């Protein structure tokens, strides 16, 4: 592949023969075209990350120290260095000696840059940054995936101290001579036309066209600042500043044109400029700085924001007046987080500006809990199909917020396709490169960009700039093609045209009547950066050119006594610190960066045309999880995509998007919404609930019925039936049954310390008294009918003996209960184990053994009753109540045997209900089985309540 361009400085024919041999020895082919063009073609790949500097710029000798610095960047150059020293006249290069004429001053006049894939040149790159469209086709000539830009310089001067350029120098677009020259590189032309592959043999492989009015304003701002400084009597008095301005559409051509100058022969210093202002894009700036940095020429960029340029090891001579994207990317991430947008899409320019800025944004966004649904690249020179695919992805995506880290060129390409596919409804968040571009706010894009948010460089007012811009006219420099093209573009006319109907320019058109990006000074942001850059150079030079102890500038001759080295300017730039007329302070930190300050910009217009804020849209992958729910990660999805899972019982979440649910304290439970903890429901068998009310009613009914029976027995106490039933034991039995019915009431209601001790002991003693009475009655009946002699019967069935037996059996139960209460009494207990959602308030037994001993004793008495009643089953029917006692004991035993498993297995208050039911059932069983037949005779069959009737059946059997 052949690279040809007028900015490649050619060598003499005899030197080229040597360079061809050197290139072939390193595995490359070297070809000469017409004596003015040298081409190096690779036959194998360069080492990765190498920055090959192939230098063929030799006179009889070159300055050894400078070439050694270049050759050190690649080991293969060492041999070339040694060969070159021996080639020219077979004499070694002489070192520069102090106090000796510089016979070999800076012989190197050009260099080559970028064979490194670090800047994406291993692919078909799209170089362009924050400003306007710009391709760098001259930066990549890749064979077997390597790139090398060859710049050849030849200087003849064996006996003189001058540098001579071979080839045609690049002519600046605008220039002015001065004592000190400042170079400028701006993306003046925004459209690139590529030649076909077969046309690379020509001298113009690409063509830049279509003037960018915004960039041209930057150019005029630089000229305005220089003129302002030249007219100042305070800053750089007696010193004039000149300028040379190039279009950075071809960044290497621009930097070589700046370094070479327009003179065929240069003295003193082989660099024609002392500092470069530019470029407008990060990628262009990187390419230019890697060339100019070899010559230690400082660069001050007004628009290159890539954070990579803050690396002082790689770019020691770089400065800028615009903050690094290190701050902007993080600020955008925090802005997105501030509005609650956790699900965003992202597009970026496929260059250093976009890739580095977006990488920082994504890193910060992940730390802020923001997820990026997609991240796509846009290249202004890429295929339309790629842009269409990106826009389709934006349409299919669910993110409603788009972070666009795009240069203006890529933004134009993307907007046209978005407009073509009618994609609306997105909230755009932009970078500083386009967020303040007024032309985007026009009606054509209003339906797309309404509401766009982003950070912009602080706006400033530059006094006198608008008047200066309005005076720009082609008559200022009739030879300038740039001024004529600007005029033609602004007014839509042509100075010369052979086509009929074409409007001709007169040169007297008024810029005051136009409204475009050039004349609009309402948003002076980047222009102010250019202004600050020029003044930073002026202050640095002012500090260097002060002579004498008084510090005042001296005569012009004194200033030029010692020529100004660019590296000295770079050193002084690091220390500048001044304040503009607007009050803004300008200085650089250790990385060459200014202080990072931004303004938040929102593009909205109401009916009056004023900028207003509107309601922010919602852009999330998943709906917010409300209180009472927690986030659950969906497998295979980003962390911003989640499902909402309700908190389980006893857990709450009281904020949106809670990552987990919090457990409530032991005595608290979650409410219905699981949004807060509330005290647990305390459960016990109360009088107010249905079950408690029914059991209370049955208990009172049983007690009342027992008292009624007692009254009946008292009323008929002198009748034979009552006397035969042992009236004293019957009265005592009825009284104990009444207590049994009433003791069930102690189980109902909120347990207290006294109620817990009373309920089980009262129950145990009442039933022991009841069963003791029944046992005494049964034993009396059995003894009366089984006795062989009446005397013994009277003694065994005496009332004192009956009372003693009843009292004795009851006292045993009393003794057990006293021991129970003394050592392990029952007490109220909050049971949180059985049911986690509520507290069961119950009476803890204290000693389960004591409880079961009480129950066992009652069971023992009941068993004795059953045995004695069974023995008396064949006694005379008319007088025999043993069979009723037997039947009552069967019911009693069945109830309490059933009670045991039911008591153990019943939960909460139902345990108490089972116990009450057992008490009432057994009490009713005893009452009805023993006293119902007698009440039937006493109340309904009084004729059978006679001694004769009671003894009748027995007498009939004896007769």
Kindly provide the residue ranges of all beta strands, DSSP E only, lying in 532-687, ordered along the sequence.
Answer: 577-579, 585-587, 598-602, 629-633, 642-646, 651-652, 662-663, 668-670, 677-679, 681-683
Following DSSP, what letter does each residue of 185-198 receive, concatenated?
Answer: EE--EEEEEEPPGG
**Taking the complete model, does pTM exceed 0.75, yes or no?**
no
Contact in structure between 371 and 401 (CB atoms under 8 Å): no
Going 682 to 688 to 690 to 696, the CA torsion angle's sign is positive
What are the CA-CA distances from residue 867 to residues 361, 779, 872, 923 (Å)?
A: 94, 10, 9, 20
Measure the CA–CA gap between 635 and 89, rounded to whole angstroms. Answer: 75
- Per-position DSSP letters for 701-730, written without gaps between them: HHHHHHHHHHHHHHHTTTSHHHHHT-HHHH
Rounded Cα distance between 296 and 299, Å, is 9
State the pLDDT at residue 723. Answer: 80
Residue 559: what pLDDT?
47
pLDDT of residue 205: 54
Q: How far apart are CA 354 and CA 378, in angstroms?
A: 9
Residue 403, Ramachandran bin (φ over 0: left; ψ between -120 and 50: alpha; else beta): beta
Q: Whole-angstrom Cα distance, residue 819 to residue 846?
A: 12
Give the number of other CB atoms < 10 A from CB of residue 742.
18
β-pair partners for 631: 644
Residues in the chain: 959
State the Cα–Cα distance between residues 591 and 306, nearest whole angstrom: 13
Long-range CB contact pairs, 91-95, < 8 A, 24+: 91/60, 91/61, 92/61, 93/61, 93/62, 93/63, 93/64, 94/61, 95/64, 95/65
- CA-nearest of 520, 518, 544 to 211 is 518
Tell me the C-alpha distance between 743 and 761, whole Å.
9
- For 883-916, the pLDDT digits (tens) are 778 888 888 888 888 887 887 777 778 888 888 8
Point out the residues of the chain with pLDDT beneath 70: 1-167, 192-207, 250-251, 262-271, 443, 546-563, 605-618, 784-798, 873-880, 949-959
Listed in sequence order, the residues at least 6 apart from 715 whose beta carbon sits closer than 8 Å to its beta carbon are: none
**Strand-strand pairing, 598-602 and 585-587:** unpaired
- In the block, tokens 């070694």 appear at 92
Q: What contacts 280, CB < 8 A, 6 or more positions away?
A: 129, 130, 131, 132, 134, 185, 186, 187, 215, 218, 248, 301, 302, 303, 304
């Amino acid at each position: 592949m052949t690279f040809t361009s007028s900015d490649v400085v050619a060598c003499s024919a005899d030197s080229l023969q040597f360079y061809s041999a050197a290139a072939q020895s390193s595995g490359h082919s070297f070809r000469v075209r017409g004596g003015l063009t040298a081409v190096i073609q690779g036959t194998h790949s360069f080492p990765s990350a190498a920055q090959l500097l192939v230098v063929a710029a030799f006179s009889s000798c070159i300055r050894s120290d400078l070439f050694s610095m270049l050759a050190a960047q690649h080991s293969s150059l060492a041999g070339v260095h040694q060969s070159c020293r021996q080639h020219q006249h077979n004499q070694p290069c002489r070192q520069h000696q102090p106090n000796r004429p510089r016979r070999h001053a800076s012989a190197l006049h050009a260099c080559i840059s970028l064979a490194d894939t670090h800047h994406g040149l291993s692919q078909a790159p799209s170089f362009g940054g924050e400003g306007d469209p710009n391709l760098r086709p001259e930066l990549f000539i890749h064979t077997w995936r390597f790139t090398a830009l060859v710049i050849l310089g030849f200087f003849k001067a064996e006996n003189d101290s001058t540098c001579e350029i071979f080839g045609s120098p690049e002519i600046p677009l605008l220039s002015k001579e001065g004592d000190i020259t400042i170079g400028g590189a701006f993306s003046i032309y925004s459209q690139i036309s590529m030649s076909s592959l077969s046309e690379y043999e020509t001298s113009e492989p690409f063509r830049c066209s279509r003037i960018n009015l915004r960039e041209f304003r930057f150019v005029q701002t630089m000229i305005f600042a220089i003129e302002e400084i030249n007219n100042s009597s305070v800053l750089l008095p007696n010193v004039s500043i000149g300028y040379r301005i190039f279009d950075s559409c071809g960044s290497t051509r621009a930097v070589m044109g700046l370094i070479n100058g327009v003179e065929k022969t240069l003295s003193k210093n082989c660099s024609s400029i002392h500092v470069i202002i530019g470029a407008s894009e990060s990628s262009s700036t990187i390419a230019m700085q890697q060339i100019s940095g070899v010559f230690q020429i400082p660069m001050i960029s007004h628009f290159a924001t890539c954070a990579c340029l803050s690396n002082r090891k790689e770019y020691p001579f770089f400065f800028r007046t615009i903050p690094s994207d290190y701050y902007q990317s993080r600020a955008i991430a925090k802005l997105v987080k501030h509005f609650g947008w956790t699900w965003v899409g992202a597009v970026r320019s496929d260059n250093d500006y976009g890739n580095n800025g977006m990488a920082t944004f994504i890193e910060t966004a992940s730390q802020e809990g923001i997820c990026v649904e997609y991240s796509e690249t846009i290249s202004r020179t890429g295929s339309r199909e790629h842009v269409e695919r990106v826009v389709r992805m934006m349409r299919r995506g669910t993110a409603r917020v788009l972070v666009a880290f795009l240069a203006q060129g890529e933004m134009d390409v993307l907007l046209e396709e978005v407009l073509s596919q009618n994609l609306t409804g997105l909230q755009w968040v932009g970078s500083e490169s386009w967020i303040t571009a007024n032309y985007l706010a026009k009606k054509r894009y209003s339906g797309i960009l309404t509401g766009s948010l982003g950070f912009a460089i602080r706006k400033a007012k530059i006094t006198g700039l608008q008047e200066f811009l309005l005076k720009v006219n082609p008559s200022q420099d009739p030879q300038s093609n740039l001024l004529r093209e600007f005029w033609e573009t602004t007014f839509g006319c042509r100075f010369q045209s052979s086509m009929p109907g074409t409007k001709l320019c007169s040169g007297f058109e008024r810029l005051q009547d136009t409204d475009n990006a050039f004349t609009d000074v309402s948003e002076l942001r980047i222009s102010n950066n250019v202004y600050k850059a020029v003044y930073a150079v002026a202050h640095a030079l002012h500090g260097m050119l002060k002579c004498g102890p008084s510090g005042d500038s001296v005569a012009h001759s004194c200033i030029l006594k010692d020529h100004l080295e660019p590296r000295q300017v770079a050193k002084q730039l690091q220390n500048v610190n001044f304040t503009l007329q607007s009050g803004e302070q300008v200085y650089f930190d250790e990385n060459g960066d200014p202080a990072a300050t931004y303004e938040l910009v929102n593009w909205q217009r109401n009916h009056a045309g004023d900028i207003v804020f509107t309601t922010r849209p919602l852009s999330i992958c998943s709906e917010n999880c409300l209180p009472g729910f927690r986030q659950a990660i969906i497998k295979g999805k980003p962390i911003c995509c989640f499902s909402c899972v309700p908190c389980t019982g006893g857990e709450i979440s009281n904020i949106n998007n809670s990552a987990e649910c919090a457990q409530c304290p032991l005595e608290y439970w979650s409410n219905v919404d699981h949004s807060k903890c509330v005290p647990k429901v305390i459960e016990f068998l109360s009088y107010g609930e249905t079950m408690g009310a029914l059991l209370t009613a049955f208990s009172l009914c049983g007690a009342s019925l027992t008292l009624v029976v007692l009254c009946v027995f008292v009323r008929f106490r002198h009748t034979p039936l009552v006397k035969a039933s042992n009236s004293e034991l019957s009265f005592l039995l009825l009284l104990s049954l009444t207590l049994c019915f009433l003791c069930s009431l102690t189980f109902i209601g909120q347990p207290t310390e006294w109620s817990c001790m009373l309920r089980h002991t009262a129950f145990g003693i009442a039933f022991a008294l009841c069963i003791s009475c029944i046992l005494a009655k049964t034993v009396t009946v059995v003894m009366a009918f089984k006795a062989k002699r009446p005397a013994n019967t009277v003694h065994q069935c005496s009332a004192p003996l009956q009372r003693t037996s009843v009292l004795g059996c009851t006292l045993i139960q009393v003794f057990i209960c006293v021991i129970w209460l003394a050592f392990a009494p029952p007490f109220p207990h909050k049971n949180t184990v059985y049911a986690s959602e509520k507290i069961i308030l119950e009476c803890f037994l204290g000693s389960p053994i004591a409880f079961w001993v009480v129950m066992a004793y009652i069971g023992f008495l009941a068993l004795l009753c059953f045995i004695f009643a069974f023995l008396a089953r064949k006694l005379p029917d008319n007088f025999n109540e043993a069979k009723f006692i037997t039947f009552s004991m069967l019911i009693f035993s069945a109830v309490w045997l059933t009670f045991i498993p039911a008591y153990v297995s019943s939960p909460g208050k139902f345990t108490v209900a089972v116990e009450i039911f057992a008490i009432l059932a057994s009490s009713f069983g005893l009452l009805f089985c023993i006293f119902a037949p007698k009440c039937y005779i006493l109340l309904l069959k009084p004729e059978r309540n006679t001694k004769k009737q009671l003894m009748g059946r027995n007498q009939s059997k004896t007769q």
